[in-house]
A and B are shown apart, each in its own frame.
Chain A
């Protein structure tokens, strides 16, 4: 099973700042089948990024993904108030052994 480790656990930033979230895999993620989701309290996860770097439909371009192999990054170029949430990475190329990271909380400083 591929273990995804996200860091940091919590990121305290102000609106307008840049957020950089990391997702490290215990082994190579096939063909960059790495997704990022945003989850707000009481809501379902929302797909932001798939294939490591492709934005899902309707996702603002301040969200970007990068990386390959075992190291992946989600960057939010300028935080908007609605971006404060928990972010999860997921590897989905090894069904049924798909896994999620433990999440990074982006909170208002």
Chain B
């Protein structure tokens, strides 16, 4: 049974750096092909893809946010960490982490099939 859970601060001040942790179970990030991604959703708005890390430490970032994002993994702890610098009120959102079964290769790609419950982060002074 795959589960994921996000954790981190609920309130950050503008210009601060946000650090979120995704703790998961039911799979290993040392298994070939597996990935964990981050997606966010401002209140009442649509989903936005942020970043993704694969088992082999291949990292992908949204081009529009690349300069502000860093994604890392700790395989021994079953955790993935996302940092976002220079937070602004427009970054207020629920942040989700999600599991991806495999690499996009050989004409086969995979969606996010399991999601965490999300964590609401508010950016305000």
Tell me the minimal C-beta distance from A74 to chain B in angstroms: 14
Max chain A C-beta neighbours (<10 A), residue from B47, B109, B115: B109
User: Is B60 in contact with chain A by the CB < 8 A criterion?
Assistant: yes
A95 & B110 in contact (Cβ 8 Å cutoff): no
What total of chain A residues lie within 8 Å of the partner, measured CB to CB? 26
Task: Bits for B13-56, please: 1 = Cβ < 8 Å to A, else 0.
Answer: 00000000000000000000000000000000011110110000
User: Is B62 in contact with chain A by the CB < 8 A criterion?
Assistant: yes
Besides A45-B115, A47-B112, A88-B47, 16 other CB < 8 A contacts?
Answer: A1-B63, A30-B109, A33-B109, A44-B115, A44-B118, A45-B47, A45-B96, A47-B111, A50-B113, A90-B47, A92-B110, A95-B60, A95-B109, A97-B62, A100-B46, A100-B49
Contacts from A to B (Cβ < 8 Å)? 1, 30-31, 33, 35, 37, 43-47, 50, 56, 88, 90, 92-93, 95-103
